[in-house]
Chain A
């Protein structure tokens, strides 16, 4: 399974990757992108099976990325991993097609639980 991790922070991408490994997802193909625009380009080429994306990023934010992916026909599961988690943001995320919303800071268990739901 190809998992694309999208976050403008290298530190957070490393934390997500480390957490994925702890949660038993380390054997999958883990790729990284630093903003929505880069992720959109990567998704066109690689066709990830799962996207874990931050919301607040320069150039193209996570919601714009999700809307762009859906407009291009991408139907794979998309999960937000973000420090903001207001009801309004969750509503907009799920309306746009997100499957899960994980709030930073997160525990390995919280991320694993969300991924379990998304991938089931």
Chain B
């Protein structure tokens, strides 16, 4: 990380927010169009990884502490399980839709899938960036 140019630095900083937004778009529109929790989460994570490569792991850790990633990952894992078991409690079975469907114009809105997408997106984003940060962090 010694021979770093300003171009890399500027480009990474300008590009990362767009990647976050695009990731969020993929997560939130995943139930209606191509995309979804995993893909969106990976895009968000790659934004974070881009920052970590271009700046440094410390810079990212200053922005968001690593521990918070771990907490987010554990919490979303727990919430996913809770949603799954919620289906059993509602009498519909594990991971069954117990919320019901709405409608956006002519298209059906799968609220349950939407909720799952957001949870998975958060989990994947936190998990994937955590893996890379740990690997980069070992250099120190």
Q: Tell me if chain B binds chain A.
A: no
